[in-house]
Amino acid sequence: MVLKHSNLPPEKELFAHQKIDGWAYDSEVLFLAVRRGYKVREVPVTWVHSADTRVRLLRDVFSSLNGLLQIRWNWITGKYSMEKSRESGRIPADV
């Protein structure tokens, strides 16, 4: 991640605005990173299947959807306190 015009490490800045404590916390952090102007990129990982998984497909799909809707609602209602710049449409780093 790259952030311009900030003295805070990226994780402190992003987690300071985080509201969700659950299944979608990582989606929220990525959402906030993009909204703050960080560069986000995908990196490959090696997936190892575990027969002892605790993921419950139906329950966790609805939990994920609920988390994504909550992120959008938090943004719409201003709960992240990160205002957009009128000129660029981007969020200023000093907010």
Q: Where are the domains of the chain?
A: 1-43+55-87
pLDDT digits (tens), the chain, 95 positions: 433 444 567 778 888 888 888 888 889 999 999 988 888 888 898 988 888 888 888 998 999 999 999 999 999 999 987 644 333 344 444 43
Q: What is the pLDDT of residue 15?
A: 83
Q: What is the pLDDT of residue 8?
A: 62
Burial class of residue 36 in the structure, from the number of CB atoms within 10 Å of its CB (0-12 exposed, 13-18 middle, 19+ buried)? buried
Closest alpha carbon to 79 in 13, 12, 20: 20
